[in-house]
């Protein structure tokens, strides 16, 4: 089977609320491999590039303001089917519609403060991690774990 990688980011509210450990724990317990991790302050241009598909939306300025409002925890996770599985663990965009048992369903109430990002396709996973490598010296520890 194809091993994919996904970009998971604990957003500023998740970091401020002390949810980093809880969120990492859910991916670890599921059995995926952590291949990269960095706490950093996301610059405006990277936030805008990351969310460029939403540029026309009315909430875009607020979204960018939120993402750059404090440090985020960037992670790369690897595994078979990891992109779709991570989206399931994260839950629906609107936390009030996210199922209990999901990260957003258990830990958040507002769409604009939904604590975590996960890539929506394997292509975007690669793209988002590659962009961080370029702009934020985010390096992966591939091959560190035995599979
Ligand atoms: P997701 O994060 O579930 O992939 P998305 O890619 O559609 O959702 O949107 C990215 C982020 O933008 C989302 O996590 C929160 C914000 N957002 C999306 N829709 C919104 C809305 N209607 N109002 C406010 N913020 C919104
Ligand atoms: Mg998205």
Pairing state between β 116-118 and 3-10: antiparallel
DSSP alpha helices (H): ranges in 32-145?
Answer: 44-50, 60-67, 82-90, 103-107, 122-136
Q: DSSP letter for 142, please.
A: T
With a 6 A CB cut-off, is 59 part of the ligand 1 pocket? Answer: yes
The DSSP element (H or E) to which 29 belongs, if any, is: helix 20-30
CA of 11 to the centre of ligand 1 (A): 12
Catalytic, 117? Answer: yes
Buried b (16+ CB within 10 A) or exposed e, 13-34: bbbeeebbeebbebbeeeebbb
Report the pLDDT value the prediction gives residue 134, as an integer from 0 to 100: 86
HSE-CB at 60 with a 13 A cutoff on CA atoms is 13
With a 6 A CB cut-off, is 94 part of the ligand 1 pocket? Answer: no
Point out the ligand 1 atom lying closest to the alpha carbon of residue 117.
Answer: 2
Instruction: Tell me the pLDDT of the chain (147 aa) as tens digits.
Output: 889 999 999 999 999 999 999 999 999 999 999 999 999 999 999 999 999 999 999 999 999 999 999 999 999 999 999 999 999 999 999 999 999 999 999 999 999 999 999 999 999 999 999 999 888 888 898 766 655
**ipTM (interface pTM):** 0.99
């Amino acid at each position: 089977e194809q091993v994919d990688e996904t970009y998971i980011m604990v957003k500023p509210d998740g970091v401020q609320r002390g949810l980093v450990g809880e969120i990492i724990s859910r991916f670890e317990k599921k059995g995926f491999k952590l291949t990269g991790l960095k706490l950093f302050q996301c610059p405006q241009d990277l936030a805008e590039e990351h969310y460029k598909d939403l540029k026309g939306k009315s909430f875009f300025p607020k979204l960018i303001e939120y993402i750059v409002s404090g440090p985020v925890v960037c992670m790369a996770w690897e595994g078979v089917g990891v992109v779709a599985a991570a989206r399931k663990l994260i839950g629906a965009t609107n936390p009030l519609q996210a199922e209990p048992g999901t990260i957003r369903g258990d830990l958040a109430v507002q769409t604009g403060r939904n604590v975590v990002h996960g890539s929506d396709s394997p292509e975007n996973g690669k793209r988002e991690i590659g962009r961080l490598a370029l702009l934020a010296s985010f390096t992966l520890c591939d091959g560190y774990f035995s599979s």
